[in-house]
Structure 1
Amino acid sequence: MKKYLQNNISYYDINKLPIALFNLKKWVFVTISGIDAAKYLNNKFTMNINLLNFKKYFHCANCDIYGKVLSNFLIFKYNNNYGYVIRKSILKIQKKEFKKYLNFYKIYTQRKKEFLLFGVSGTNLRLFLLKFFKLLPDYHNTIVNYGDIIILQFQYPEERFLFIVKFSQVLFFKNIFRNFSVFYDDQWSILHLKSGIPILDRINSKIFLPQSVNLRIPDNIDIYKGCYIGQEIISKVFFKKINRKYLYVLELLTKNFTYNFENCVIRFTDMYKNYIIGRILFTVKLNNKIFWLQIVLNKNLPLNTILLFENICPVYFKVKYKFYV
């Protein structure tokens, strides 16, 4: 397999390749089982777990009592129980929340370390994969489970797939892509940024309402399913239309600028000298010339708006993508 260093490959190079494989080490696969699993998950998660079947997965969240998102994830039926894919950095927070209720519910959670996660993207991808898999997920049936290999489909920004592969099948799976380029988590995350999928790590847990990070009704939130933790606040924001924060992707315009964006909260000014506060979710360097921020801003801005970030010298960003709930 051809391997590339992360800093030397851009998203645009990926698009030019016929097919690309992404080795995902920052996401993990977790299962939830037990006789109370469905009841427990329905009381915690924003989607109606009773509507899950073996042909669909949900992208949803679990929130605290104030309606703030602890984590977002992909959840699906797995061997008559439930499985979900979540960021590794936030898993401990979620497990800590689960432990609060273990005395009331008979449930068991387990990180499935015997499974590895891979993303696949590229042109003519479906035709290529059908040479090795008789059935692939599509718009109507978004997940296919072969037992040792689970396949989830994403529609945006172009059709791509997430593979959850058991160790026993990893050699077979990698052999399929032996002639293609291999990338890593950040390049896969670029596709999430373009799709409006929030990347919430530990530092941004319990900060945002779902609507502020582009978790929508009815795709990610079931407003009518009944009581769950945080529902009152989430419903109030929806019906009164009082969300005032929005998810954006900003592109750095200033050249030859380096800055450590570990400080999550930064302040911009627009052309009218209005202050705009933003909290960074994720940063990624596409190549030596292009740098993106996934960020939540406290103002509704049109595309291509220019924002000034004043640090030591003036630095300019452009609104590349916006996601308005």
Structure 2
Amino acid sequence: MQNNSNIYLSNKLPNMYMRLHGWSVICVKGLDKKKYLNNQFTIDMNLIDKHDYKIGAHCNINGKVWTSFFIVKYNDCYLYIVRSSICKKHLYELKKYSLFSKVDIFEDNNFHLFGLCGRNLDIILKNFFSISFNKCISVIKRDYFIFLKINQPINRFLIIVHENQVKKFLTVMKYAAALSTSTQWLALDIEACFPIIDKKISGRFILQSLDLKKWNAIDFNKGCYYGQEVLCKYENKRINTFTVCSLISNDSLFNPNIGESVEYLDNESGDKYHVGIVLSWVYIYSKRILLQIRIKKNFLKKKNVFFIQSNPFVKFTLFTR
């Protein structure tokens, strides 16, 4: 099939596959791998089984998120996916306390990441890979392929492929779907309000204020882990006033800046309010910008019009599917 470089919203998405540049695969091996990660990550590692994956986070001692991730158990190791821009910093922080543990943590370049999205994906997987998902299974492993089913904002698949099978995978996929870019996958993450934590955002915000609780990325009942005390106090006091949402522009193209201020102008009083910051953005076909922002919940109204600091002449509204 032909390449398609246009980036679409999920309701207009044709069948597409893409190599996921911008994401990295981390491998964790060793006898102490589960115990070590359980003491570092916000999820209970004991709940990961062969049919499921978990979304979790790695925080600093103050409960601020270094990175979020998708993690799966594979043979004798754990594999998980993080944004490449924070991979080096994350590994440095994660490995700080590994000296006396039997654990090996490293970026694994033997695996490549792909995304598959669009309509009739179950038919594609059945016809080309002889696999099918049901409601109880979110992970299927076949030889050197790992398929993770994600159901937001639509059903789509994150596929981890060993380098020995990349050529075979690409040969199969060119008959099944059009080739797109990793920006399309990023657009779907933004639309799903899954927080994009890149280098400029890493280590700045507490887990709940990035809406990661909504993704079951934290377990309040397991043993100690980094940031737990702060996160539990924050949860018990119910003081979180932030969430993650998507904004969209109309007929405007320019380059927003990650981390820049999002503002709201009250037309009645003339007062301007800082309401959030930009986490990520993409261009949507045609001539629209889809923003992901961390926003104060009390400004989350459909009728509100927002601006960003670098271009106050372009209007953004709340994106809803």
TM-score above 0.5, yes or no? yes
Cα distance in 2, alignment partners of residues 256 and 134 from structure 1: 43
Cα distance in 2, alignment partners of residues 185 and 304 from structure 1: 32
- For residues 98-109 of structure 1, the aligned pairs below 5 Å read 98-109=94-105
Cα distance in 2, alignment partners of residues 162 and 90 from structure 1: 20
- Contact 1:304–1:320 at 8 Å: present in 2 too? no
Counterpart position of 1:317: 316
Cα distance in 1, alignment partners of residues 303 and 280 from structure 2: 20
Cα distance in 1, alignment partners of residues 152 and 214 from structure 2: 18
Any idea what SS the aligned residue of 2:212 has? Answer: coil
What is the identity, as a one-letter code, of the residue corresponding to 1:265?
Answer: E
Residue 196 (structure 1) aligned to one of 189, 193, 196: 193
Residue 154 (structure 1) aligned to one of 141, 150, 158: 150
The answer to whether structure 1 residue 62 and structure 2 residue 61 are counterparts is no
Shifted more, 236-245 versus 42-51: the winner is: 236-245
The answer to whether structure 1 residue 227 and structure 2 residue 224 are counterparts is yes
For the aligned residues, what is the CA RMSD? 2.1
Cα distance in 2, alignment partners of residues 13 and 143 from structure 1: 22
Counterpart position of 2:90: 94
* Alpha carbons of structure 1 residues 257 and 87: separation in structure 2 relative to 1, 3 Å: closer
Residue 187 (structure 1) aligned to one of 184, 189, 207: 184
Long gaps (5+) in structure 2: none
Any idea what SS the aligned residue of 2:127 has? Answer: coil
Counterpart position of 2:248: 251
Residue 277 of structure 1: how far off its partner (Å): 3.4
Residue 167 (structure 1) aligned to one of 163, 167, 178: 163
What is the identity, as a one-letter code, of the residue corresponding to 1:216?
Answer: K
TM-score of the superposed pair, with normalisation by structure 2: 0.91
Residue 219 of structure 1: how far off its partner (Å): 1.6
The answer to whether structure 1 residue 53 and structure 2 residue 49 are counterparts is yes
Any idea what SS the aligned residue of 1:11 has? Answer: coil
Residue 298 (structure 1) aligned to one of 296, 306, 311: 296
The answer to whether structure 1 residue 216 and structure 2 residue 236 are counterparts is no
* Alpha carbons of structure 1 residues 251 and 41: separation in structure 2 relative to 1, 3 Å: same
The answer to whether structure 1 residue 269 and structure 2 residue 264 are counterparts is yes
* Alpha carbons of structure 1 residues 90 and 145: separation in structure 2 relative to 1, 3 Å: same
Shifted more, 158-167 versus 301-310: the winner is: 301-310
Shifted more, 305-314 versus 47-56: the winner is: 305-314
* Alpha carbons of structure 1 residues 15 and 105: separation in structure 2 relative to 1, 3 Å: same
What is the identity, as a one-letter code, of the residue corresponding to 1:57?
Answer: Y
- Contact 1:143–1:152 at 8 Å: present in 2 too? yes
TM-score of the superposed pair, with normalisation by structure 1: 0.90
Cα distance in 2, alignment partners of residues 298 and 228 from structure 1: 28
* Alpha carbons of structure 1 residues 37 and 319: separation in structure 2 relative to 1, 3 Å: same
Residue 263 of structure 1: how far off its partner (Å): 5.5
Deviations 1:210-267, CA, capped at 9 Å, x for gaps: 11112116721111112111111111121211011211111124x4453x42252314
Deviations 1:140-183, CA, capped at 9 Å, x for gaps: 21111113111100011211111111122122211222133111
Cα distance in 2, alignment partners of residues 14 and 171 from structure 1: 30
Residue 13 of structure 1: how far off its partner (Å): 9.0
The count of aligned residue pairs is 316
- For residues 97-136 of structure 1, the aligned pairs below 5 Å read 97-136=93-132
Cα distance in 2, alignment partners of residues 67 and 207 from structure 1: 9
